[in-house]
Structures are given as C-alpha cells and as structure tokens.
Amino acid sequence: MLIGIPCEPREAQAIVAATPATVTALRKQGHEVLVERGAGERASCPDVAYAEAGARLADRAEVLAADLVLQVDAPATEQLDAMRRGGAVASLMAPARTPELLDALAAHGVTGLAMDAVPRLSRAQSLDVLSSMANLAGYRAVIEAAHDYGGMLAGQVTAAGTTPPATVFVVGAGVAGLAAIGAAQSLGAQVRAFDVRPEVAEQVESMGATFVSLEVEVGGGRSDGYAGELTEDAERATQELYAQEAMTADIVITTALIPGRPAPRLIDAGTVAAMRLGSVVVDLAAANGGNVEGTVADERVVTDGGVTLLGWTDLAGRMPAQASQLFGTNMVNLVTLLAADADADAGAAADVDAAADAGLPLVLDLDDQVLRAMTVAHDGEVLWPPPQVAVSAAPAPAPDRGGAAGEPAARHTPEDLVRDPRRRRAVVLTLAVLAAVGAAFAPDELRMHLTVFALAVIAGYYVISHVTHALHTPLMSVTNAISGIICVGAILQVGSSSTWVTALALVGITVASINIFGGFTVTHRMLGMFRRAES
C-alpha cells in the first residue's frame, strides 16, 4: 500500500501523523511511505530523519495521490480535489458536527476513516486517538494550571512555617481526567474528583485522590462507554456539588464531553465569581462550547474576581514530539488492521487484481465493528452514523437466582455465600463459636498461641486493607520480609523431636520460600516497567 503523510493544513497544528519511528514500522509491514517535505518540522521530525527511516520525500500532489493519506486534521476541500477517486484518508473528522465534510468525501469518491469515531471496544484501544491525545491533554492541563496558579502544589514544612498543598478539583474521570489526577497527585496536590459514573470511583481512589460522591442517583454512563445525560434532580445536585467544590479549590479542571453534542455547562458565572482570588480553571471542553461559563476557546480570560479561565484547545499539541509518536502509533495500528482485513479478503476473493485495477487501494471489511464505526464515507456514499455498539463499562446486573413463579430457586454458589452479608455474618459467628469452644479445652500454651495468631490476623487485615493501591509494590516487599521471618522460625523447628512439628516446619519453609521468591520476581518485573530502556 502507498501511504502519504502530508503537511497539516493548519499552521497552528504541530502534531504530525507519522514520525520516523512509525514510518519504520510501516515499512516493516511492506508499505511504501511518502512524506511531504517539512511535514514534521514542528514536531522535531526533520526530513532527513524520515529519509533515514525509509520514507520517500515528495511534493504535496504526489503525497495526496497515495492509496491512503494519514493526517491529523480533517481534509480541506482543495485537498479532496487533489486526491484520486478510490483513495482513502484517515484523520480526525468530527463526523457528527461536519456533515458537509462527509458529503464532500462521498462526492469525491474518497473513503473517509474518522479516527475520532473509534468505538470503545477492548480490541480498538490501540486505534483510539482520542484517548492518546486526552491523556496528554490531561497531563498538560495540570502543567498549564500550575504555571498560572503561581504557587506550589505540594505542601511544604520549613523553618519559616508551613504551606498547605493546593487543592485540585477534577470533573470527569475519563482518560483526560485520570491523567490530570495522576499529574496533580505526583506534584503533591490534594486532589478531589467527581464523575457521574459511579463505577470509576475505584480508579480515582487507586490513584490516591478522593472521589466525591452524591446521595442522589446520577444515572451513570451510556451504552457506548461515555457519560450520559442526567435527570433533572441529579443535575441540580451535581450543580450544587460543582459549586461547593469549585469555591474551595485552587485549581479546577473540567473534562466533561458528550460525543456529537455541545459540552455540558457545569460551572456557571456565579460560581466562578465566588471562587478564590488567584484560582485557575482549565476547561478541556472549550472547543465544544466549554464546561465553564466565561471560557473562550484558545484564550486566557481573567475575571473581575481574579479567577483565570484557560480555554486552550491545543494542549496535546504543546507536546508535539510525544503527541506525534502516540498519534503515529495509532495510525500504524490502523494500517495493520486494514492490511489484515485486506489479506483476509484477498484470500477469499477470486480475482484480487481486478479489484485493485478498479481503483480500490484497500479492502474494507464493513462487517468489522471497529472499521464500520470509523468509516464515514465509502464508494460515494455517506455511512454516518454507524450502527450502535454497546460497550458500557457498568457491571452487568446480577441474574435473578430466585427463578420464575413456581420454579425452585437456583443453588447458591460460593461467590453468593461470600457476597451475602447475612450469610457471611453467620459463617463468621459459627467459626468464632467453634474457636471459643476449642480454646476452652486447649492447653494454656496452645491457647496463648491461638490468641496471638487471632490478634495478628485482625491487625494484619486492617493494616493491609487500608494501604493505598499505589503502595502495593513496596507492600509486597514488606510481605517478603515477613515471609523471611516465618522461614527462619520454621528452620529452627526442623530439629524438633516431634514428627508433626518437623513436618509442619518443612511445609512452612516451602510455602514461605515460594512467597519470597515469587514476591521478589513480581516486584522486579513491576519495577522494570518504570526503568528507562537502554538505547
């Protein structure tokens, strides 16, 4: 396949759809890559680097005539005029808001693949450009906010006194929101977050932030994995929560978006006016109208009350090298999927050469959920909107084990026994009674050991259960040390005159050794994920 990488039509767009590294990956798949001269300059990707990676530098007309054109922004009309009929273009297209673009693609006979229409399926995550860019935007939002805040995000204890940490309130716990939470948390801020989907609370808390919950049922997410619209009561309750949290926060970052619709208004002008002097708001939804009243896209606004509203829409583009690498990797994965479908169709087709001669540079499998959702125009027809794809992240409702009327209830599984609080209490009470009866008739020495063991179990449970998820790796090292103590104690008992004691000691040595070696192996592999690869 001949793949073209043109210069982006907007001068402000610093991201390029392919880097020298991703060109190398495309070349390894057997594709020829054409790069327009100067396409990667703003992303620190010079022409010489593309040439060394195996790409061929060409002028714009030759690049646009390729089988598949990869770019960031949506193609302009003059670009479509230069593309050949039967060609394809993959880029961000916002198909729900740009019907004129879809009509133009169909009129020119160009296949349009919208990278911002990738469904939220597990197998499509490698193509999800929105998640890649949102991750960078959330991180950069904290950096921009910290710059305008002008203070330290982490608390300090000095001889001259103490300074409290900054309070950061994040609205939305999607990809951008979680990235913002992680960045603010790493800088030492006190982070609070809210999302209308209660199932994301565990993700927020696992990053060390506080999830703000509501008494009112807020509705949760949609079937496509995004947050859904709220009921009137829920909207009123969330507005009160936003106002309360924003007025006590130093930095507010909003990330709420509903695909295909204007951004929901979360914080009104009254709340902004009541915020602290010097507070900063970063509105990641500014391009779609903004979550905060008063936000202007691509502008920095300072209110009369001294609150700074940042409406930057190019946050990911402010890190063009990393953004281009991630975007380019998503494009490589797209080409891989297209090539796989083309190979599959080629194996089943009777005359593949005839299809190629007809001007079809690639074969789209529209039965594939991912490709069908992304394809907005093909063979002169507009294919938007695609069929609904249900990918809700909410847990499936538990099946009714009682059966229909007149049918016997289903047998309870061990999982039901653990989850049912009444049965769990009954089991615990029964075990406690048996333990008390056993202790009453046990020797004094055994009773003392059982008491120590019971207290150790209770103390260990409460200590470990309250350790934040971020400390699980060092906690594993602590458990390795405890297992080492057990191993030493078991070794001391091997020489006992009692056969039972010796056997139990050998079992203890074996189990503790497995825990020690296994724990250090897992810890080593986890820490290896954070080490910089040697070049």
| CA separation for the pair 92, 135 (Å, rounded) | 16
User: Does residue 120 have an active-site annotation?
Assistant: yes
Answer with the residue of higher pLDDT: 50 or 483.
50
Does 401 map to a domain?
no
Phi, psi of 86 (to 5 degrees): 95, -10
Specify the 3-state DSSP secondary structure of 37.
coil
Same domain, 111 and 186: no
pTM of the model: 0.71
How many beta carbons lie within 10 A of that of residue 161, not counting itself? 7
CA–centroid distance for 467 within its chain: 23
Catalytic residue, chosen from 44, 59, 97, 125, is 125
The mean pLDDT value of the chain amounts to: 85
Bridge partner residues of 34 (DSSP): 4, 56
Same domain, 312 and 249: yes
Catalytic residue, chosen from 128, 250, 283, 368, is 128
The predicted-structure confidence for 218-228, as pLDDT tens digits, reads as follows: 655 555 555 55
pLDDT at 456: 80
For residue 385, say if its preceding peptide bond is cis, omega within 30 degrees of 0: yes
Regarding beta strands 375-378 and 111-114, do their DSSP bridges make them parallel or antiparallel, or are they unpaired?
antiparallel
Same domain, 477 and 520: yes
pLDDT at 409: 46
Same domain, 346 and 362: yes
Same domain, 428 and 500: yes
Q: What is the mean pLDDT of residues 124-136?
A: 95
User: Does residue 131 have an active-site annotation?
Assistant: yes
Angle formed by the axes of helices 421-440 and 444-465, nearest 10°? 150
User: Does residue 477 have an active-site annotation?
Assistant: no
Bridge partner residues of 2 (DSSP): 32
pLDDT at 469: 55
Candidate ranges 199-213, 307-321, 391-405; pick with highest mean pLDDT: 307-321
Does 127 map to a domain?
no
Domain that holds residue 220: 134-317
Does 261 map to a domain?
yes
The predicted-structure confidence for 327-337, as pLDDT tens digits, reads as follows: 999 999 999 99
Q: What is the mean pLDDT of residues 423-450?
A: 78
Q: What is the dihedral of CA 226, 227, 229, 235, to 10 degrees?
A: -170
Same domain, 347 and 425: no
Bridge partner residues of 3 (DSSP): 33, 68
Task: Specify the range with the lowest mean pLDDT, choosing from 43-57, 184-198, 336-350, 397-411.
Answer: 397-411
Same domain, 34 and 100: yes
Burial code of 297-307, b = ≥16 C-beta within 10 A, e = fewer?
eeeebebeeeb
Q: What is the dihedral of CA 500, 501, 507, 509, to 10 degrees?
A: -160
pLDDT at 318: 96
∠ CA 255-260-266, nearest 5°, is 35
Percent of the chain with pLDDT over 70: 82
Same domain, 305 and 338: no
Answer with the residue of higher pLDDT: 69 or 437.
69
Same domain, 154 and 298: yes
Residues 6 or more apart whose Cβ sits within 8 Å of residue 54 = 23, 24, 27, 33
DSSP string, 409-470: PPPPPHHHHHH-HHHHHHHHHHHHHHHHHHHHTS-HHHHHHHHHHHHHHHHHHHHHHTS-GG
Are 4 and 64 spatial neighbours (Cβ–Cβ below 8 Å)?
A: yes
User: Does residue 125 have an active-site annotation?
Assistant: yes
Bridge partner residues of 169 (DSSP): 192, 252
User: Does residue 226 have an active-site annotation?
Assistant: yes
| CA separation for the pair 36, 6 (Å, rounded) | 5
Catalytic residue, chosen from 50, 139, 226, 242, is 226
Nearest to 253 by CA among 213, 289, 287, 280: 280
Torsion sign (Cα): 466, 471, 473, 477: negative
Inform me whether the pLDDT recorded for 407 exceeds 60.
no
Task: Specify the number of domains making up the chain.
Answer: 3
Catalytic residue, chosen from 71, 79, 91, 131, is 131
Does 224 map to a domain?
yes
Does 393 map to a domain?
no
Are 96 and 386 spatial neighbours (Cβ–Cβ below 8 Å)?
A: no
| CA separation for the pair 347, 107 (Å, rounded) | 31
Inform me whether the pLDDT recorded for 154 exceeds 50.
yes
Inform me whether the pLDDT recorded for 526 exceeds 90.
no
Answer with the residue of higher pLDDT: 414 or 126.
126
Same domain, 241 and 355: no
Inform me whether the pLDDT recorded for 57 exceeds 90.
yes
The last residue of a domain, from among 282, 317, 352: 317
Are 1 and 10 spatial neighbours (Cβ–Cβ below 8 Å)?
A: no
pLDDT at 54: 97
Same domain, 161 and 292: yes
Inform me whether the pLDDT recorded for 350 exceeds 80.
no
User: Residue 122 has what DSSP assignment?
Assistant: G
Inform me whether the pLDDT recorded for 347 exceeds 50.
no
Inform me whether the pLDDT recorded for 375 exceeds 50.
yes
pLDDT at 354: 40
pLDDT at 156: 87
Answer with the residue of higher pLDDT: 91 or 365.
91
Does 388 map to a domain?
no
Does 497 map to a domain?
yes
Same domain, 183 and 295: yes
DSSP string, 253-316: EE----TTSPPP--B-HHHHHHSPTT-EEEETTGGGT-SBTT--TT-EEE-TTS-EEE--S-TG
Catalytic residue, chosen from 42, 120, 192, 372, is 120
Structure confidence at residue 360 as a pLDDT band (50, 70, 90) = very low
Does 112 map to a domain?
yes
Residues 6 or more apart whose Cβ sits within 8 Å of residue 254 = 171, 172, 266, 267, 281, 282, 283, 284, 285, 291, 292
| CA separation for the pair 108, 86 (Å, rounded) | 9
Output the domain CATH number for residue 352. 3.40.50.720
